[in-house]
Amino acid sequence: MDIRVGHGYDVHALADGLKLVLGGVEIEHTKGCVAHSDGDVAIHAICDALLGALALGDIGKLFPDTSEEFRGIDSRILLRRVVDLVASRGYTVSNVDCTIAMQRPKLRPHIDAMRKALASTMGIECGRVSVKATTTERMGFEGREEGVSAHAVVLVYR
């Protein structure tokens, strides 16, 4: 069996009055991510982890932010395309583990909805998708509520 691991990391700035979408779920908040797409950092980190596992580049290479096609796009569409690319190479996603760093709002009430949204987008069981959230104890850009970051690790096999 050929087993591969990949890591992804993404950051977006936060600004007042924008929609906040994380892990495929819209979350009520006063701020949202500044982005060419819907700014879903969690999905972007997962896409990069999947692409990294197969050494296929990164999300910016696949979906350039200069392209009108991707303006305001639902990141679940991007994730589905990346999963299809992984499948086209003969690989199956074993599991995903994602951590979102954000000071506010508390993400715990939204974790299961994110896991469900991600699992259904990727076509895998919910038990294979982990989403975790942490604050950064008010330190750094996440702690100052200037931005949100996400890390993801995935394992794929064929």
Q: In the complex, which residues of this chain contact Mg ion (CB under 5 A)?
A: 10, 44
* Residues in CB range of 25: below 8 A, 6 or more apart: 110, 113, 114, 117
Distance CA 147, CA 158 (A): 37
Least distance to Mg ion, CB of residue 35, Å: 6
Question: Which one, 85 or 94, has the nearer CB to Mg ion?
Answer: 85
What is the torsional sign of CA 128, 39, 16, 19? Answer: negative
Question: Which one, 33 or 86, has the nearer CB to Mg ion?
Answer: 33
Q: Which of 111, 116, 99, 110 is nearest to 152 (CA)?
A: 99
Tokens 């999300």 correspond to 59
Question: Which one, 103 or 149, has the nearer CB to Mg ion?
Answer: 149
Q: What pairs with residue 157 in β-bridges?
A: 3, 92
Least distance to Mg ion, CB of residue 9, Å: 10
Question: Which one, 2 or 66, has the nearer CB to Mg ion?
Answer: 66
Least distance to Mg ion, CB of residue 2, Å: 28
Q: Which of 59, 22, 57, 25 is nearest to 41 (CA)?
A: 22
Least distance to Mg ion, CB of residue 127, Å: 26
